[in-house]
Structure formats: C-alpha cells, structure tokens
Amino acid sequence: MAEAVDEKLREYRARRDFSKTAEPDDRPAAKSGEHLSFVVQKHDATRLHYDFRLEWKGVLLSWAVTRGPSYDPAEKRLAVRTEDHPLAYGAFEGTIPKGQYGGGTVMLWDRGAWEPVEDFVKGLKAGKLVFRLDGERLKGEWTLVRMKPRPGEKAENWLMIKHREPGFTPPRGDVLKKYDRSVATGRTMAAIAKGGRSLAPSDLTPEAPASQLDKGGEAVRKQKGASRKERAAMPEWREPQLATLVDIAPEGAAWISELKYDGYRTLIAIAGGKARIYTRTGQDWTKKFPGIEKAAAALATDGTLLDGEIVAFDQNGRTDFSSLQAAIKEGGNGLSCFVFDLLAQDGEDISALPLVERKARLETLLGEGSAPLIYSTHVAGNAPEVLAQICTAGHEGIVAKRANDPYRSGRSRSWLKVKCTRSQEFVIGGYAKSDKANRKIRSVLVGAHENGRFVYKGRVGAFEDGTLAALEKRLVGGPAAKSPFAELPREARRGAVFVAPKTVIEVALAEFTSDGIIRHGVAKGIREDKDAADVVTEIPQETPMTAHEERDTFAGIKISSHDKVLFAGTGITKADLAAHYERVAPRMLPHVARRLLSLFRGPDGPDGETFFQKHGSRGLPAALKRIEVEESDGKKDTYLYADGLAGLIAGVQMGTLEFHIWGSRIDRLERPDRLVIDLDPDEGLQFADVRDAAFDVRERIRKIGLETMPMVTGGKGIHIVAPLTGRAEWPEVKAFARGVAQLLEHEQPERYVANMSKAKRKGRIFVDYLRNERGSTAIAPYSTRARKGCPVATPVSWEELETLEAANVFHIGDMADRMAMNDPWAAADGWKQAITKKLLSAVGLR
C-alpha cells in the first residue's frame, strides 16, 4: 500500500520545491478518519478555480473545476483531472509562492465525508463516477463524467454535474457567491493572502459520515443538535440590529433586499427542546405565540438565536399589523414568523460572520421554511428595482442590508429601510372627546421625542379595526394629567384630556406638513413591544451613494486598508471611521478646528499597540497641520491641528481611534475658550450616581455665574462644558476649576473628591479639573472611543441626559439620527461668559 501511494504521489512531488512552498511534502500520508473525506479548495492561481478532491486508496484524487461546483443540474462544469495529492493536502490553507507550481492563494472552501453510489473502481475505468457528498456546503448526489479527448489533447477533461434528486432542496442562489470565506477559519481570500496560520489536519475531520445522511441532510442536522443539547445553554436576549430610514433605495451589488414586514420584531432563543420568544425590548412573550414556540422548539438545533418578525396576513396575503393584533387577542395561533438572521447556532456566536453566510446557515437550518417559521428570502443587488416591484404589489417597502457586514446591535446604516408609504410609531399624550354616542374618543394627540423633548406631532382621528375600542378602554377614565408636550398649539389644547405618555401606536400617514404635523394619519394598532421613551421622529436620511466599504477616499484622502476591521466583534473598519467623521463633521468641527490635537492611535485597533501622539513628525499627511508652540521650559516643538474634515480623515488614515483637544484655539493659545469639569466615578458607582452629580454640579456652577452643557464621554463619565469668551488666561481658568472641585469636596466629602489619588476616590466621584491647564486635553465632541463597541463621545441636552442609562450608549450607527436632530448645544452659541474676579471670589479665590 505504501509503495502504491508513493508511486501515485511521484508527479505531485516532482512539481514542487518543498524548501519554498508550505504545501505538505512527501511524508507518509495519514488516514483522514473512519470515513472517506473530500475537500474543495478555492485556488487563486493563474486563474481562479476550485480544486475538488476525493479521498481514495491513500491519496486525494483531484480535479480543477474551472467555474466551481453548481447545484443547478443544468450546469455542467468543466473539471480538469490533475495529479493525485497526499491526504495531508486536505488540511492546507495558505499561499503558494509566486514562481512555484500553482502559485497563489488557497482557501479551504468546503470539507466533509463522501461515499460512492456506484462501483467506484469500474467508474474510474469507464469514466463515470457517481457519489454522495456530505459537506458543510456541498451535499447530495453528484457525478463526474470523463469527456472523450480531442486529437492530441493531453489533459483529462471531466464534467462535474449535480444529480436531480426528488425531495432534495438545494440552497437558493449561487453557492459560490454565498460562501466567500474559509469553512475552517472564516478568513477571506485577501486575509489568507496576508498571512496567518495554516490549518491543522484535525481541521479536516468531518463531523459525520455521508452514509448517515438522508437526501436533504436532515439526519446529520439532527445528530449535531443532539450532540450539543447537553452543553449549549439557552441564548440570552441581546439588543437587535435596527434599520435607518432613508428616502431612496441604495444601488450596487454590496446590498441585498428583503421585504419589510408589518409585524412584531422578535428574537427567538432555542435550547434543550424549548424556545423563548422575546420582543425587541427584551420582554418574554413566549406564551403569546404558542404555534411559533412549538415550531422553534422542534428545530434540530440547540443554543441557537434567531432574529425575525412575527406577522399575520390579510385577505390579500400581505402582512398586516391590525390582523396581527386581532390574532394575538384570540390566542396567538395561526401566526407566522419570517426569520431573516441567525446570531448564534449550536452554542456558537456567529454574529461576526458576513450576513450572507449567516443567512445561508439559516436557510440550511430552516429548510424550505414553511409556516409558521418562514425563511426570509432576499434579492442581491438592484434594490431600486426591487423596491418598485414591492410597492406595485402593495407591500410596505424593503429593508436593504449590506451583504458582507456583521450583525451590530442598535441602529446603523448597515441596514436601511425604504418605505412605499409612510408609517411610524407615536406616543399618545392626550385625546379629544367625541360627541357621538357610540364612541368616546374623537381623536388622539400624539408626539415623539426630539432632542430630549416630547414634541407634538398632530391629531389622529381614523382607526383601523379594534384599535379605537382598545384605546378607549385604556385611556378614558384614567387619572388626570398635565400636558406632557413641550409645546402645544391652542386649538389642540382646547378641550383636550391629557394622559401620561406611555401608550405607543403605529400610524400610517400620507406625509408631514412643513411644520412637522401628521397629515391623514390612521392608527393601525397599539405597539405593546415598543417603549414610549424610545419613540423618536423618523426622518429619512440621505441614502449612501455606495457602500462605504467600497470607498477608499474621503475628503480627498485615500484610506489604505480601508476594509481593515479595527474593532473586534463589531466589524467596524477604517472606512467606517472615516464615514463617521464625514457624517459628524458639521457638528464636530466647530469644537475641534484650529485647536491643538493629541491623537490616540491604534493602527490595529484598541486591542493592538496604542499610543498618544501630539507632536508632528515626518511622514504624516499634509492635511494635519503643524504649528510651532513654545513649551513651559522655553523650548519650541511642533504640534498638530486640523482646520477641516481632511484633517480628521488624515487622522483616521494614521490609525487614530480618539481625538483629544486643547481648550484654546491656535490664534489665542494662552486664552482658553472652554472649561471642562470631568466627573469620573469610582468603579463601584452606577451611572445614575454620575448623572445626579452632573445636575448637582450644573446648579452649583450656575449659581456662581456660568451656564454649562453636558457630554457623555463614551466611557463611564460626564463632561460638563462651559463655553468662554477667552478673556481669562490658563492660570485663572485652572484656578476656577480647582476651586469648584474643592468646594464640592468640602461641602459633600462623602460624594466628591478633588484629589486624583485612587486611594481617596473609593465610593466617590473624582471632580477632574486638571483638563483646564495649558497642555492638557479632553476628548473631542463626536470622537470615537477606543473601547469595546466603539462608543462615541456625544453632546446631549440636560433634558436628554435625564433619560440616559449610561455614558457609552451612543455609537457611530446612531449618529445619522443625531445629525437629523437639532444640535443639543445650539443654545450655547449666543452665550457670552468669562472667568472674572467675581467668579474666582465665589469659589474662595482672590
């Protein structure tokens, strides 16, 4: 046997110089396992192709499939027979050096077990091989048929064809496009080309033999689920990913389009033969949907988390929210759930995988996906055309998603919703009584949150189905309340009965008037799954021209390695950071431009090497300006500053994760125009403690004579910022800040400390005044932070601060919505205030 294998590998060895290539050499090949193995390796050599290899008698029989395998039986793919390879080659993933035979990148694209369907020895001689595959991507019955050679043709050409099998359902779409990452390491071809580990032989071992498969692969899926049932825990709820409303569908192949469903968003956790159904806010609503619970619990999986939308259909077969509410009241049976994402599978968190790969796994899990669990299909590219067809058919709209993005909790521009008609949620703040005998409410007064204020958005007097009766039961006869609206027109106030703003309804509307009031609104039902505090006015954002992962130039500056992921677990790339600063520049630059900068750099993200840089050096982009500044010792050094967006983008190109700014501008360097009090809590304190302290400090400083604005830092603390006219110099500004800190410590020593010593801060809040001395810096408004999840230091209003639960709640995906809101710091533009002798005296100085 050893001699036979040695002879079979003679050509393989002759073609390779093993001192130059990392491919397996001619060492004795090990048996791959109990069952015959196969692998498919994606190989970018002279031309891209897929190497198909079947284990047989100690070697891997090999074919180069020029266009790759296809599940379409009508597609006969050319497969050129190549030299036999050692079994160890089935674990090879890496690069073959240029100049060597087959030079290029090799990815392990699929792996698994196989078995012959007909006599394999006779088939090799006759030129027809029939076999079954049980891979992670290729399954079912296939054939290889040898073509008759042409005169003088030396190559042995075969055709690889998928058999038609009754009852077998192949995955939808082009399987080669659907799976573009390694089946073993999750790497792309580009990532493999950059280097990294080669695969171990154990990576090749299949989990189950092909002989245990039924034709649809169901037996193996059940076996995998059973093997994990004992150790995979029930997944916990997590914040779902949300879509940003835009006005135009995005163009390009980087997007896929799904139908927008009119129902209840849900996350479904599965483990141990049980299922839990959560709302988008984390409420356990399992008992409301018994049919969906039963179907989910029966899936052959464990430790799995699905994302989808629970719906009911109207008489026209369209999803309809009113029908959903009626079905829930009747016991929740007969409902369906469109499942569009898979966040965890068999105990493994897969949220970092590209969307199309998650969906491919989801489709395999659900199969054809008949009701009540239905796989949500999608269309790749052509989103504008898809939207037009969806609208013509009378549906609500589409959700366009970046095909290769990871799953990111919270609202982002990775998912975009485009509606055929306008509809959104509003909160009821009151109602007008009806003068008709058969109804108690004529119309409801609704609002939404904008910039920390509850803003009146109009009346809604039309109601679908049982919505009016449900609202009358909930609202009429309740306790009296004051108007919850920040402002209310006189005609709306007249005769209104006000209620606590807790009830959320979904409203279909024609449009908003120029002053933001609903036109032709129809209440479709109560949204029990939505928190009233989360309801904001949805304003369509500008649709990106292209997916920014395809862009490498911002503000005229080319971003190298623009698709490099900097924040593990989020998928946030250098291009994402550049797009963030492009988006927030109108708000950020007034606070940052022409101030000296200190850049916190991490070219490989916060988990790699990081360092601060404040001095200019050779090789930095010209868009980062330089200026000579005299140091305290009289020597001069070169500092950096930005005077526009290009400066910020240049920082991103250098790997800047955080921008820190001086408190003065370069043209008045010795006269700061901002004062910063940083409230930095001890580890044991809650954010509520810091938030309460911020309001306390605000009032104390206000009584002294300064108005302030808050900013949540993206970490644990809050910055209280007072804009100044620049009348006083650094020593006076620092002295005032120190006086405030010491005054707070003196009056409430159990709450505040003015000394930065860790030992003295236990259980207290450090009032950091040291950011107000020459050379010190503070995090810039709208700067990202080098922390988990890439939070953003975000200016807020005092009203909004009351509603926040943490200092790191804002991320780059939230910034589009914030840019559409009024600037929370706009009121400070007209403030004229300075550090004077009177203020210094008020804190015990002079």
**Calpha distance 223→845 (Å, rounded):** 77
Residue type, position 254, single letter: A
**Calpha distance 667→214 (Å, rounded):** 76
Q: Where are the alpha helices (DSSP H) in 155-206?
A: 175-178, 189-193
SS3 call for 339: strand
Structure tokens at 205: 């071992």
261, 266, 267, 270 alpha-carbon torsion, rounded to 10°: -100
Structure tokens at 212: 């245990």
- List Cβ neighbours of 618 (8 Å cut-off, separation of 6 or more): none
**Calpha distance 672→383 (Å, rounded):** 50
* Chain centre distance of CA 600: 24
Structure tokens at 675: 């004062």
DSSP 354-380: -HHHHHHHHHHHHTT--TTEEE---EE
CA 781-579-341 angle, 5° bins = 110
Q: Where are the alpha helices (DSSP H) in 186-335?
A: 189-193, 218-228, 290-297, 321-329
Decide: 124 and 206 in contact? Cβ < 8 Å: no
Decide: 426 and 446 in contact? Cβ < 8 Å: yes
**Calpha distance 110→102 (Å, rounded):** 19
CA 604-607-612 angle, 5° bins = 70
Q: Where are the alpha helices (DSSP H) in 748-795?
A: none
Catalytic-labelled residue, pool 139, 260, 288, 419: 260
Maximum CA extent, the chain: 105
**Calpha distance 406→359 (Å, rounded):** 11
Decide: 85 and 77 in contact? Cβ < 8 Å: no
Q: Where are the alpha helices (DSSP H) in 319-354?
A: 321-329
**Calpha distance 6→84 (Å, rounded):** 11
**Calpha distance 277→312 (Å, rounded):** 16
Q: Is 260 a catalytic residue?
A: yes
What would you report as the CA-atom Rg of the chain, rounded to the nearest whole angstrom?
32
Decide: 796 and 824 in contact? Cβ < 8 Å: yes
Percent helix, strand and coil across the chain, each to the nearest 5? 25, 30, 45
SS (H, E, C) 228-295: HCCCCCCCCCCCCEEEEEECCCCCCCCEEEEECCCCEEEEEEEECCEEEEEECCCCECHHHCHHHHHH
β-bridge mates for residue 244, sequence order: 416
Beta strands 37-44; 104-116: pairing state: antiparallel
Give the residue numbers annotated as catalytic, written as ranges. Answer: 260
